[in-house]
A and B are shown apart, each in its own frame.
Chain A
């Protein structure tokens, strides 16, 4: 047992009752404890010190054990008499103890005992009232929770006090402390001020709308303890799926609350009856009490010390004696002055008593005070004695108690209405049966028609069948179930699914179970059902939609547990060529799956059997009989109770990829590969993918490289044909006119002089004219007609007048013209030889760059890679696309190295650079690309930036996905950025993309090696 000595719950009713007891029992020291859950709580005390109080701890449990109990205790050296009187409830359970303490022996006469019993009842009422209030609150909360947790409590200032858990999820903008009207808008006829003022909850349904989400809720309300409680439920629309409700089917099995409600309702009704009886008793007891007062008066021996008025009149109505107590009010109230009585009524009464020589007790009220008067004729002295007692406080208290009882009664009525209101408005049908399967209660959701509803009370399902003139199969079925529940005494829950008259599907979750009385016997059975069609449908639809939405481009099949198709999406219909109707009800193995590889089929079968997720690649067949490869994902589906209810099949057409793979395989018939194939299938898979990636990169590079090779090869080709032509020229004619020495001279000259590759016509004319003048001035012996021709030949040979000796030597020759021609031819040959040589170098550089992409050995070995050189190689490959076309700003620090795979990094840069170039192809403004580095103490970042068109933010997340391409019909394989992603993962680097109108930027960040 526990003790609480401090008064915690201050209820003034207790204080007043204790005061009254003190008065009635002439006791100055009284303590009242109440006992709840084995805990004593001190609720009121008069004239008892804390110390003395704690001394009671040992006595109270004895009262609980023995009932009324008397004892003696020592506290602080003083001896006290103790009397403990238990307060029992209707079940004779002790709920409180009145303790009387005194210095003298405590003995109560029968009237005092009766008085205490009456007050015990009053105390019991106060306790039960408190208890009811507490229960009411608990019950309210539980009822609100049953109603899906969609409730709001609003204070009289319209601010929100409390929010149901489901609103917290579905309407997070609803905040405690906010004004309700800020977050939601009430519809139509609902004026919150008016409803608060009148406090009527008239059981109507209203609507409000969530300001933010525009979700509509229907609700009813109730004013409870000056709060408005709004109990709502969302009006279902497509937007609100189950997820928003945050509900699961289990929510509906909170039958305990309903059971508790039923129990409470019973007890409330019982308490009401009890209250009535007690209230009647109280009135009776009042009369008894007045008798007791009479006795007290008569017994009073010491009028002057008596706190009640005592008077004596002579038989001629003269006041003979009045005690001090009568002086305060009594004399004045009954107009007794100068020993004369002027109160006519009392005077007449005294007269009657004198006449009859009798004794009578009466109640009289004067000036708001109530008196109990015992008028007795004392024969021997011919006096009339009046024993008065001011019972004002007592009467007031009794009146108050009566009021209180009426109040409790009202509250109980209110409470009953409150629960009925909730039950009648619950979105569930509820029926309560007695143990004979007769209806005790049905809510409107159960039977809508009020007449039939009222009729059914006290009747059963067989009567209902008769009334409706329908077969009683259902009644029989229910009786069977009812009997089994009655026997097992547990709740049974099941789902009814049927098609209603209008062909609409309806799913109802039903439960039936027992309600127990206090003794644990089944008193009633409660059955309830909720229409969960929308929820079940929403749930089913939700599962479908959420999964399907993700995979709209892929074929999706929904299958039941037997692998029978129940639904297919558009992509599936498009790809397979079958209509939805043709697919429904069939097993895909009968017509879609055309795979013959038994391993694959076995794997699939196994996964279905074990209800496991599986991904396989297999062959399918469309309606026309054509085969196509798919990557198939089969996923088992489970409902909220974790019961397997089917499969989903998502397939992705990989025919193209598969064919590529086959081609690659056909080409690679080397031994190594064969060995690889046999040894590890996993390695093969990843390799084939890597090869595929490499093929893509190389393929895309090839186009560019072709040009880079084309130019030098073209130059080599034409250079060689020009050399051949010139040589023919030399040997055919000119060589015959020149001496060996002259040829030697020409060769020597051609070898040692760089020959301008070409010369503009205008310039050569100018130079020729000048040279002609020079010749005329210095070599006047030359034949006229030859001068122009000769001058032109000199200019063609790039021999200027400053080269005197050369000019003189040539002019001295027997055939100057032939020598100049042969000199020119030699120079042409040397010049083309140079061109061919440098073109060859150029071509080999291109091949070198390209080779570094392909060399397998370097691919597999991790090593130090210089980022500048690595990126430069890539830029060289793309040189033909960049030069003259794009303003390139290449600024990568030459000292930056990372540990990695150089060829893989080539792939990284080439994909980024290629993308940058391609995205700018159609731009008309100046194209810019920057490749630069930023290094910090821990990281190295390479930024590849271009000023091409923006990548929409909706696509940024997708660009790294395999086969994602924006260049659907152009060059894109869709592999580019997925390769980038792979390489980045391989190097444990990170990539970030940001794209604006001005520029698109890829930033690759490597960790610095320690």
Chain B
């Protein structure tokens, strides 16, 4: 088994979205060297990111939904960024509050915003770019 160096995190409260993401990421990523984790609960995701980084696993990106219980995607991103400021954050949402998004973008906290329903190629483009920068460096 290959040594694990990378991870990708997906957070969405809708399991069906995670199912689609799991399927699509399976096609896009080499999941033998990249760990792909799914969370419906943002708090769980937050603590697992800390653990992964403690174990020196490079988290390539976090893909979050906007509307979630307990906290919004914007809040989650701010929390992640406050601890790990180099971590790439992507958002996938159909009903995000535009002022919150533009504030995130203004603060340079958001790598990419993808509108639901999304196009698989759009997702692939965004992810591939990030993977390439990470794994080649």
- Give A contacts to B, CB under 8 Å: 707, 710-711, 713-715, 717-719, 721-722, 725, 757-762, 765, 769, 788, 828, 831-832, 835, 838-839, 880, 883-885, 921
Question: In the complex, given contacts A757-B15, A760-B37, A884-B68, what are 8 additional A-B residue pairs having Cβ atoms less than 8 angstroms apart?
Answer: A713-B117, A714-B117, A717-B117, A719-B20, A725-B27, A757-B22, A839-B16, A884-B13
Q: Which of B16, B34, B38, B97 contacts A835 (CB 8 A)?
A: B16
Question: In the complex, which range does the number of interface residues on chain B fall in?
Answer: 20 to 34
Contact check, A714 vs B19: say whether CB atoms are below 8 A apart. no
- Given contacts A711-B14, A715-B17, A722-B23, A758 and B94 within 8 Å (CB-CB): no
Contacting pair B1 A788 (CB below 8 A): yes
Determine whether the beta carbon of A711 is less than 8 Å from that of B94.
yes
In the complex, which residues of chain B have a beta carbon less than 8 angstroms from the beta carbon of A839? 16
A885: contacting residue among B15, B16, B20, B67, CB under 8 A = B67
CB contacts under 8 Å to A, within B1-39, are 1, 4, 7, 13-24, 27, 31, 34-38
**Residues in A neighbouring B35, C-beta threshold 8 A:** 761-762, 765
- Chain A interface, DSSP helix/strand/loop, else mixed: helix
Distance between A917 CB and nearest chain B CB, rounded to angstroms: 13
A-B contact pairs, 28 of them (CB 8 A): A710-B116, A711-B116, A713-B117, A718-B118, A718-B120, A719-B20, A721-B120, A722-B24, A725-B27, A757-B15, A757-B18, A757-B22, A758-B15, A758-B38, A761-B31, A761-B34, A761-B35, A761-B36, A765-B35, A769-B1, A788-B1, A831-B19, A880-B67, A880-B95, A883-B67, A884-B68, A884-B69, A885-B67
- Assess the B117–A757 pair: CB atoms within 8 A: no
> A721 to chain B: which residues have CB within 8 Å?
120
* Interchain CA distance A713-B117 in the complex, whole Å: 8
In the assembled complex, the CB of A73 is this many whole angstroms from the nearest CB of chain B, namely 113
Q: Which of B93-131 contact A (CB under 8 A)?
A: 94-95, 97, 116-118, 120
Q: Which residues of chain B have C-beta atoms less than 8 A from A719's C-beta?
A: 20
Main secondary structure of the interface of B (DSSP, over half): mixed
Contact B20 A722 (CB under 8 A): yes
Q: Is the CB of B22 within 8 A of A714?
A: no
Taking the closest CB of chain A, its distance from the CB of B128, in whole angstroms, is 18
Contacts of B55-95 to chain A: CB distance below 8 A:
67-69, 94-95
A839, B20: Cα distance in complex, Å: 13
Set of chain B residues within 8 Å of A838, measured between Cβ atoms: 16
Closest A residue to B65 using CB positions: A884
A833, chain B: closest CB distance, angstroms: 12
- Contact B94 A710, beta carbon cutoff 8 Å: yes
The CA of A934 and the CA of B117, in the complex, are separated in Å by: 42
Residues of A within 8 A of B67 (CB): 880, 883-885
Which A residues are in CB contact (< 8 Å) with B17? 715
Inter-chain contact A715/B37, CB cutoff 8 Å: no
A628 CB to closest chain B CB, in angstroms?
33
Q: Which residue of B lies closest to A796 (CB)?
A: B26
Contact: A715 with B16, CB < 8 Å?
yes
Neighbouring A residues of B120 by C-beta, 8 Å? 718, 721
Question: Could you say which residues of chain B place their CB within 8 Å of the CB of A722?
Answer: 20, 23-24
Return chain A residues, CB-CB under 8 Å to B95: 707, 880
Docked CA distance A707–B117 (Å): 10
CB distance from B63 to the nearest CB of A (A): 13
Please tell me if the beta carbons of A710 and B21 are within 8 angstroms of each other in the complex.
Answer: no
Assembled-state Cα–Cα distance A788/B32 (Å): 11
Of the candidates B18, B20, B31, B68, the one whose C-beta lies within 8 Å of that of A718 is B20
Nearest Cβ distance between residue B60 and chain A, in whole angstroms? 12
A715-B17, A831-B19, A884-B13 known; A761+B7 contact, CB < 8 A: yes
Which residues from chain B contact A707 at a C-beta distance below 8 Å?
94-95
Tell me the bound Cα distance from A759 to B21 in angstroms: 11
Q: Which residue of B lies closest to A755 (CB)?
A: B19
A769 to B19, CA, bound (A): 23
Bound together, the chains give a CA A369 to CA B24 distance in angstroms of 142
Closest to A757 in B: B19
* B19 vs chain A, min Cβ distance (A): 4
The residue in B4, B18, B19, B37 that gathers the most chain A C-beta atoms within 10 A of its C-beta is B19
User: Is the beta-carbon distance between B37 and A762 smaller than 8 angstroms?
Assistant: yes
A831, B120: Cα distance in complex, Å:
19
Residues of B within 8 A of A885 (CB): 67
> Given A715-B17, A788-B1, A884-B68, does the pair A759, B22 have CB atoms closer than 8 Å?
yes
